Homo-oligomer: A and B are copies of this chain.
């Protein structure tokens, strides 16, 4: 770990510059409260500030110069707020004067109109061809409490919290902290703006190297370098937690993202799969982002999900139970020895159990009973974390009822068992301040926030364990030569996809495909069916027919040879009627799969993150019930098992109402193999197995399609 003054990293020039030139500041802005200069001075910055403005009177004393060319001093960082038409000129002046870092605050680039896009392209070219790096454009820039430096034009917080934030919006630099007017919750901040040059990954890596930063907060609307992000985030997450808010989840939000930061707005499911692969902790909204990063600087990670509830209010305890169940946590069971330790504090008619209503002992003698009860609970091996619900007494007149000192003291004694407080009553501000004073416990704005935070802390511990475990991807080697040959001879027809070749490819991967033969003519139909077991089905093979069933190109449930011939003729007659011009390459004769449950396995390529793997309920139910799960390949067997578990369909696959369970290892094997296939063969743009029919012994591919890349 290094601190900023030692690394010599290019981003040091942005976060800890010693000499800054501000270009484009108006005369009024010198005294305006809303100005880069004013904010920077109020931030306690002790470096040198130079104002570049040809329309102002030159003053060496006040650091005012007509142009960068007139400056003698070497400048670490240029902060550029000129109109967009002048930005490139100023950057050229920076290059000319050996300035290696510039923040372009100016708006009106790729997020705006065509001209703005053109300007951004020119800016990128300039950066590529010269010794200069740019943050922005369309950014508020950076903030760094450790160097008392900010480029914000609005007053912002300056505090040495061990949290660094990287964002695609200035909103997060300004502190979106609303609860009790809390401090900002970060010490270092970067607004990427349009991210024309300095990227998300660079800032993540920079924060990860800082010893001052223990938690990274991240707000993105879109990510451009998917693979680089996943690689960096997965590496960093093993040491430093990354809490991520992905904005623009909704359809309308995705549209707005493009016009705001010009970032790629991929599908939400793929982002979630990427975050999962990277071990990133996801926050559902800005408030959760704030809460989770505060929690990660306050608490160690709990060992499990078993929560004890200690409450002054029975009603509050019931609300807490709802909250922990919703968050996927469970109610701890107290050991008998725990109950025995504190039994004398309660009247006989109260059953001591979790949740524990402690009002009676606390109202009798808080100072002696409170610490005994809380310690007894924390001593219980069956308890991983505690939610405490208190009425807030810290006013002097309530001294006898003030539990805050007990909580902070005991929290320090049991660092691996987080204590979350929720407080009600007339003195919440005082209570919160007292509890959070030494940074070992937090007061949450709601029980739901407390429960979700615990759940995400546990999940992050699991993420870290998964990331640091050896990534065993099943070693079964795909028969590459066959697949190469199949893909090489494959000719995409008008329907755009491969059918029989897809079945061959999957067979080559070792997947079971319902046995099939290709009959080129009626003459070799019966021969083709030899060795297949009735009942059979027929499926037309044609490059020109997109929907086989719509054209009458499928015949099911053929029981014998006579049926086979009749079916073949009926199929041809149907096609002739529906698609008279279609060239038919042949007819697939296939065994009907035995009855089973239908799932679908899919893969496709996302423009940001590359290949992604999908498992879902088969048939129409996939869409109706949104029953699918995404991963970025390659997936391990453990991950594939996890995918199956995540389906709503999982209980049905495991067998309900006395049915035999489906053979889940076969689904897992198919997933791992498809994962290997699409990881190896980049020419596969999209793949669909639907349905994969699973019974109690095996999983069989019945139908499949492969789309190849256009350039194949």
State whether A181 touches B251 (Cβ < 8 A).
no
Residues of B within 8 A of A428 (CB): 177-178, 181
Least Cβ–Cβ distance between A86 and chain B, in angstroms: 15
Q: Which residue of B lies closest to A449 (CB)?
A: B287
A315 near B33 with CB under 8 A, answer: no
Asked whether any CB of chain B lies closer than 8 Å to the CB of A113, the reply is yes
- 636-669 of chain A: CB within 8 A of chain B: 648-649, 651-652, 656-658
Give the nearest-CB partner of A111 in chain B: B314
> A69-77, A510-518, A618-626: which lies at the B interface?
A618-626
CB-based nearest B residue for A260? B314
| A 448-474 binary contact with B (CB < 8 Å = 1; else 0) | 100000000000000000000000000
Q: Which residues of B contact A287 (CB under 8 A)?
A: 445-446, 448
Q: Is A347 an interface residue (CB 8 A)?
A: yes
- Determine whether A521 belongs to the interface, using a CB cutoff of 8 Å to chain B: no
- Which of the 9-residue segments A165-173, A373-381, A607-615 touches chain B? A165-173
One of A348-356, A524-532, A557-565 at the interface: A348-356
Q: Are A250 and B349 in contact (CB under 8 A)?
A: no
Take A115-B349, A247-B322, A350-B112 as given contacts and tell me if A315 and B446 are in contact as well, using a CB distance cutoff of 8 Å.
Answer: no
Question: Contact flags (1/0) for A254-298 with B, using CB distance below 8 Å?
Answer: 001101110000000000000000000000011100000000000
A426–B649 touching, CB < 8 Å: no
Is A212 part of the contact surface with B, judged by Cβ < 8 Å? no
A627, CB-defined interface residue at 8 Å: yes
Is A176 among interface residues, defined by CB-CB distance under 8 A?
Answer: yes
State the CA gap A350–B625 with chains docked (Å).
40
Which residue of B250, B349, B621 contacts A621 across the interface (Cβ within 8 Å)?
Answer: B621
A253-B318 contact in complex given A174-B391, A349-B108, C-beta closer than 8 Å: yes
Taking a contact as CB atoms under 8 Å apart, the answer to whether B155 and A426 are in contact is yes
With beta carbons under 8 angstroms apart, the residue of B285, B347, B398, B623 that contacts A447 is: B285
Contact B318 A256 (CB under 8 A): yes
Q: Which residues of B contact A447 (CB under 8 A)?
A: 285-286
A425 surroundings in chain B (CB, below 8 A): 154-156, 174-175
- List CB contacts (< 8 Å) of A546-562 with chain B: 550
> A591 near B: Cβ within 8 Å?
no
Cβ of A695 within 8 Å of any chain B Cβ, yes or no, is no
Q: What 1/0 mask marks residues of chain A from 313 to 347 whose CB sits below 8 Å from any chain B CB?
A: 11111110111011000010000000000000001
A397 interfacial by beta-carbon distance below 8 Å: yes
> With A326-B250, A651-B624, A652-B624 given, is the CB distance from A424 to B171 under 8 Å?
yes
State in angstroms the CA–CA spacing of A172 and B627 once bound together.
39
Instruction: Give the chain B neighbours of A621 by CB distance below 8 A.
Output: 621, 625
Is A429 interfacial (CB-CB < 8 Å)? yes
Knowing A180-B180, A248-B322, A256-B321 are in contact, say whether A426-B175 is a contact too (CB < 8 A): yes
Of B252, B357, B657, the residue contacting A325 (CB under 8 A) is B252
- On chain B, the residues within 8 Å of A214 by CB distance are none
Q: Are A360 and B398 in contact (CB under 8 A)?
A: no
**Can you list 15 A-B contacts (CB < 8 A)?**
A34-B363, A113-B351, A154-B425, A155-B426, A170-B313, A175-B425, A175-B426, A179-B445, A247-B322, A250-B321, A252-B325, A252-B331, A285-B448, A624-B648, A624-B652
- Chain A: residues with CB nearer than 8 A to chain B? 33-34, 107-108, 111-113, 115-116, 154-157, 167-172, 174-181, 219, 221, 247-253, 256-257, 259-261, 285-287, 313-319, 321-323, 325-326, 331, 347-351, 355, 357, 360, 363, 391, 397-398, 401, 423-426, 428-429, 445-448, 550, 620-621, 623-625, 627, 648-649, 651-652, 656-658
